[in-house]
Amino acid sequence: MRITMVGAGYVGLVSGACFADFGHEVVCVDKDPARVEALRAGEIPIFEPGLEEIVATNAQAGRLSFSTDLAGAVPGADAVFIAVGTPSRRGDGFADLSYVYGAAREIAAALEGYTVVVTKSTVPVGTGDEVDRIIREERPQAEFSVVSNPEFLREGAAIEDFKRPDRILIGAEDERGARLVAELYRPLYLNAAPVLTTGRRTAELTKYAANAFLALKITFINEIADLCEQVGADVQDVARGIGLDNRIGRKFLHAGPGYGGSCFPKDTLALARTAQNHGSPLRLVETVVAVNEQRRTTMARKILAACGGSVRGKRIAILGLTFKPNTDDMREAPALAIIRALQDAGAAIQAFDPEGMENARALLDDVEYAKDAYACAQGAEALVLMTEWDSFRALDLRRIKAAMAGNVVVDLRNVYRPQDMARHGFAYTGVGRAG
């Protein structure tokens, strides 16, 4: 089948490449000519394991192409996916849908024959209705369906998530549209991926509800971690103890500096604002947003306390900048707020991240970037492990200790065992651990 993907950002590029790998003919359309030219040259603008290979393979096979011409890519397409950004709107936190609605108008002008318009972007309840209205207003005689097909892709594991999903969610108001979108995913039936077909509004809300619930789990274990420190318990054991209950599950129960990235911050805020707007406030979600925002300040204070109450004039090494491993995404990364707080307190920052330093340079001032973890530790009076990259999990602790001017280590991801760090002469602080 022929697919047009409007937007060649994270979701659009991953989804388009994976659909092409299924054998579909895919055109990814983006308004940024530089991005399109780079993609045509085989340059991938984001770091996602396996993406470069899958793009190259399908582009070479002629199944995946890139264009700036939306009007030329829509006619003849069986499905046109809207995969543009929905950032938080300045001032009120609602999702900015201007890109979605702009895409809908451009699609409407180019429609020829029956086409399914699919919202892949994360959008508030009722957005599909408005997309439908816009297209009907622009092209009253057009033959089309509007379907919601939310993505559930984890950065760092997106290709695996697309090809072996927990579920495929299709929100449609007519059977014809639902059937066509289900057919696009037919190759996944061999993996027994469950297909859940719902109404369009239900699908839109399900995406937000899923992200909010995961954000709630992260925030919950972070608050339990704070309590563990006060009562002499270990949050990792608590997390194991509750996570082995299959009603709760073990995932997203890792205490740390709070959630970040492109989804959870904006989606929890957008869901809270949507609920308020409909007179049905979600107090739990509102609290999650507030607690996570405060979490960065709490972590900065933890580092200050570990350094004796002051970092003025001290050199602090930061290992990891991205909000999670296996991505170069710095959006809403906890490291941003924590580093700025340390700088405000008078610290000099040196940092290393395997993939995120180029993006970090555009967001952080007065940071010295190192070539590797050991160079980052050189001369530092304290080292903060911010992101749990695999390459940070088995550091040569003797070499790290020899490189540092001090011995303070603050492990915001609980990668190391306190007893091992003590044996190597470090003054170690974790999260949710007594002492």
> For 352-381, what is the mean pLDDT?
97
Residue where the block lists tokens 């091992």: 420
Examine the domain organization and report whether 174 and 228 are in the same domain. Answer: no
Q: What is the DSSP string of 156-169?
A: TSHHHHHHS-S-EE
Is there a single domain that holds both residue 155 and residue 217? no
Which helix (DSSP H) or strand (DSSP E) does residue 115 occupy? strand 115-119
Cross-strand pairs, 316: 349, 382
Q: What is the pLDDT of residue 83?
A: 97
pLDDT above 70: percentage of residues in the chain = 100
Check if the beta carbon of residue 77 is closer than 8 Å to that of residue 3: yes
Q: State whether 334 and 406 are in the same domain.
A: yes
Question: Is pLDDT of 213 > 80?
Answer: yes
* Residues 336, 312 within the same domain: yes
pLDDT tens-digit readout, 139-149 = 999 999 999 99
Which of 198, 223, 246 is a domain's end point?
A: 198
Within 8 A by CB and 6+ apart from 76, the residues are 2, 112, 113
Q: How much is the pLDDT for 435?
A: 57
DSSP 164: S
Clarify whether residues 145 and 71 are in a common domain: yes
Q: pLDDT > 90: what percent of the chain?
A: 96
Query: CB–CB of 261/267 below 8 Å?
Result: no
What would the two tokens of residue 396 be? 């040569």
Pull the structure tokens for residue 393. Answer: 């999990």
pLDDT (0 to 100) of residue 268: 96
For tokens 């995932």, name the residue: 251
| pLDDT exceeds cutoff 80 at 193 | no
Active site residue 376: no
Token pair 């990364």 is found at 333
Which residue, of 171, 198, 225, is where some domain finishes? Answer: 198
**Residue 70 predicted with pLDDT over 90:** yes
Last residue of a domain, one of 168, 198, 228: 198
- Taking only the tens place, the pLDDT of each residue in 10-54 is 999 999 999 999 999 999 999 999 999 999 999 999 999 999 999
User: Is residue 178 located within the same domain as residue 260?
Assistant: no
> 324 is written with which tokens?
């999670």
Could you tell me the pLDDT band of residue 170, with boundaries at 50, 70 and 90? very high
What does the alpha-carbon distance between residue 373 and residue 409 come to, in Å, rounded to a whole number?
13
Query: Which tokens belong to 201?
Result: 């509004």
Claim to verify: residue 14 and residue 152 sit in the same structural domain: yes
- Nearest C-alpha neighbor of 13 from the set 57, 48, 60, 37: 48
H or E segment to which residue 200 belongs: helix 200-231
Q: How does pLDDT run across 299-348, given as a tens digit for each residue?
A: 999 999 999 999 999 999 999 999 999 999 999 999 999 999 999 999 99
Neighbour-count burial for 52-61, b at 16+ CB within 10 Å, e otherwise: eebbeebbee
The tokens for 262 are 């492109």
Q: Is the dihedral of CA 161, 165, 169, 175 positive or negative?
A: positive
At residue 90 the predicted structure's pLDDT band, cuts being 50, 70 and 90, is confident
Rounded distance, CA 180 to CA 198, Å?
14
Which residues make beta-bridge pairs with 6? 29, 82
Catalytic residue among 28, 228, 263, 376: 263
Residue 190 is predicted with a pLDDT of: 73
User: CB under 8 Å to 407, separation ≥6 — which residues?
Assistant: 401, 425, 426, 427
> What's the rounded Cα separation, in Å, for the pair 10 and 15?
8
The reply to whether 165 and 311 lie within a common domain is: no
Considering only residues 88 and 434, tell me which one the structure prediction assigns the higher pLDDT.
Answer: 88
**209 and 190 within one domain:** no
Q: Find where tokens 């340079």 sit.
A: 361
The predicted pLDDT at position 91 comes to: 76
Pairing of strands 115-119, 79-82: parallel
> 110: part of which helix (H) or strand (E)?
helix 98-110
Q: 3-state DSSP call for residue 146?
A: strand
φ, ψ for residue 289 (rounded to 5)?
A: -60, -45
What's the pLDDT at 192?
A: 72
DSSP state of 308: T
Q: Cβ neighbours of residue 227 under 8 Å, at least 6 residues apart? A: 233
Please state which of the ranges 171-180, 184-193, 297-306, 321-330 shows the lowest mean pLDDT: 184-193
Residue 78 token pair? 């069986």
Q: In which domain, by residue range, is 125 found?
A: 2-198
Counted domains in the chain = 2
Residues 221-228 have a mean pLDDT of 98
Per DSSP, the three-state class of 433 is strand
For residues 288 and 399, membership in a common domain is answered with: yes
Q: What CATH number does residue 173 fall under?
A: 3.40.50.720
Q: Which amino acid is at 301?
A: R
In DSSP notation, 19-74 reads HHHTT-EEEEE-S-HHHHHHHHTT--SS--TTHHHHHHHHHHTTSEEEES-HHHHS
Q: Mean per-residue pLDDT for 393-397?
A: 96
Cα gap 195→349, rounded to integer Å: 48
Same domain, yes or no: 219 and 141: no
Residues 81 and 182 in one domain: yes
Q: How many Å apart are CA 245 and CA 157, to the nearest integer?
A: 25
Cα–Cα separations (whole angstroms), residue 193 to 186, 187, 189, 201, 261: 10, 10, 6, 22, 26
Place of tokens 């297909």: 195
Q: Please name every residue paired with 257 in a beta bridge, in sequence order, or none if there are none.
A: none
DSSP 88: B
Under the banding of pLDDT at 50, 70 and 90, the label for residue 116 is: very high
